[in-house]
Amino acid sequence: MSRQEVLVIGPIMPFVVERLKQHHDVVELENEADNAEFLAREGGRFRAVAVGRLGLTGKSIAAMPKLEIVASFGVGYDAVDVAAAAKAGVVVTHTPGVLTEEVADTALALMLMTVRELNAAERHLREGRWKSEGHYRLSHGSLNGAVLGIVGLGRIGKAIAKRAEACGMKIHYHGRHRQADVAYPYHETAVDLARAADVLMVVAPGGAETRHLIDTEVLKAIGPDGYLINIGRGTVVDEPALTAALEKGVIRGAGLDVFDDEPNVPDALLALHDTVLLPHVGSASVATRQAMGQLVVDNICAWLDDKPPLTPVPETPVPERS
Ligand code: NAP
């Protein structure tokens, strides 16, 4: 494989840059403000780009006429304009599979923290209230015997279902399709699923199609004894509607790992002390993030070595390669 130029549009894990440099000549773009100017001037040089959470716009793709592959860090690729990539004949890859179990573990932990109020109970101890006021209150919810409604029963959704079943939960799900290979009850709409569920777990992808899928109506259907957990994408939940539902007791609680405008978590959500808020740490362990980074590198190296990409997204067709 001959050394070629690879553009890395950050921020991205330094591991990706280090590994790419072993095989290719890396040009790093760290400063968003400079990107457009740089791409207008130099974009024509690059066949391969690696991108982090900021993704890649259609405009940037158009500024790179020789572009062939965009390797995106993460399984969700809603920040990459895949329609523009497909139109330009550019292959987009992502990092499915290698993070599934880690994210499912985080989702289970977030659900337990939320339903059993474990973070609030810990605060009770740390603030000296166990001594001064006595025991922390009993949690209203339990996992055992409860129905977990999963919105997006894909790789991660199924791994969460397996863990939740081990906790004695019953699984229901909603997606665009009924799945022939699972026996869990299927619900045609998110509202129907929310009605059946004690805990609604969102693990669907972001993007225009799922924007605000969890709205006021779905929140009402979860009900005053129910919980919402979001480990998918912040955009899937109508955040102001969720905040209002929590303030008014329309639902009992929520656990969120993802937000509409990260890292800007609204003050109104921060003020709700019984809501569990995590800073998008679903896949955030060294081993899992390195596996994701390695897959970004492997996709780019395979492509520049005239081999097929390892993990292309379904929206961008891959031309025949040996
Ligand atoms: P996946 O295997 O593609 O599963 C996605 C599931 O969502 C599928 O079952 C799909 O079922 C369903 N879905 C897609 N569009 C939908 C829609 N419009 N309405 C309802 N359901 C829909 O993906 P995955 O690997 O499990 O990852 C899922 C998502 O988790 C990612 O896209 C990412 O946003 C998120 N994620 C978050 C973290 C984190 O750190 N918090 C980490 C990794 C991933 P149908 O095709 O039947 O609709």
Asked whether the predicted pLDDT for residue 32 surpasses 60, the reply is no
Three-state DSSP state, 81 = coil
Confidence at 171, pLDDT banded by 50, 70, 90: very high
Question: Would residue 217 show up in a list of annotated catalytic residues for this protein?
Answer: no
142-156: pLDDT as tens digits: 999 999 999 999 999
Half-sphere exposure of 226 (CA within 13 A, CB side): 24
Question: Would residue 233 show up in a list of annotated catalytic residues for this protein?
Answer: yes
Q: How far is 54 from 62, CA to CA, in rounded Å?
A: 17
Q: What is the pLDDT of residue 31?
A: 62
Candidates 3.40.1190.20, 3.40.50.720, 3.40.50.2300, 3.40.50.410; CATH matching 100-277: 3.40.50.720
C-beta of 95 in contact with ligand 1 (< 6 A): no
Instruction: Report the candidate in 48, 209, 189 with the shortest Cα–Cα distance to residue 200.
Output: 189
What's the mean pLDDT when you consider all of the chain? 96
Residue 157 Cα to ligand 1 midpoint, Å, equals: 8
Residue of 30, 262, 315, 321 marked active site: 262
The fold of 5-98+286-304 is: Rossmann fold (3.40.50)
- This prediction has a pTM of 0.97
DSSP characters over 1-20:
----EEEEESS--HHHHHHH
Residue nearest to atom 33 of ligand 1 (CA): 76
172-203: pLDDT as tens digits: 999 999 999 999 999 999 999 999 999 999 99
Three-state DSSP state, 148 = strand
Confidence at 322, pLDDT banded by 50, 70, 90: low
Instruction: Report the candidate in 147, 146, 125, 113 with the shortest Cα–Cα distance to residue 277.
Output: 113
Confidence at 293, pLDDT banded by 50, 70, 90: very high
Residue 184 Cα to ligand 1 midpoint, Å, equals: 17
Residue 278 Cα to ligand 1 midpoint, Å, equals: 19
Residue 130 Cα to ligand 1 midpoint, Å, equals: 41
59-83: pLDDT as tens digits: 999 999 999 999 999 999 999 999 9
C-beta of 204 in contact with ligand 1 (< 6 A): yes
| Probe target for ligand 1 pocket from 187, 203, 231, 260, with the most ligand atoms within 8 Å of CB | 203
Confidence at 30, pLDDT banded by 50, 70, 90: confident
Q: How far is 140 from 114, CA to CA, in rounded Å?
A: 10
Residue nearest to atom 36 of ligand 1 (CA): 232
3-state helix, strand, coil in the chain (%, to 5): 40, 15, 45
Through-space distance between the first and last CA atoms of the chain, rounded to whole angstroms: 15
Q: How far is 96 from 203, CA to CA, in rounded Å?
A: 14
C-beta of 210 in contact with ligand 1 (< 6 A): yes
| Probe target for ligand 1 pocket from 156, 212, 213, 285, with the most ligand atoms within 8 Å of CB | 156
CB count within 10 Å of CB 160 equals 28
Residue of 19, 94, 172, 233 marked active site: 233
Question: Would residue 137 show up in a list of annotated catalytic residues for this protein?
Answer: no
Report whether 159 contacts 100 (CB < 8 A): yes
Q: What residue spans in the chain does CATH classification 3.40.50.720 cover?
A: 5-98+286-304, 100-277
Instruction: Report the candidate in 261, 204, 257 with the shortest Cα–Cα distance to residue 229.
Output: 257
Residue nearest to atom 37 of ligand 1 (CA): 232
Residue 222 Cα to ligand 1 midpoint, Å, equals: 20
Strands 147-151 and 170-174: parallel
217-233: pLDDT as tens digits: 999 999 999 999 999 99
C-beta of 157 in contact with ligand 1 (< 6 A): yes
C-beta of 206 in contact with ligand 1 (< 6 A): yes
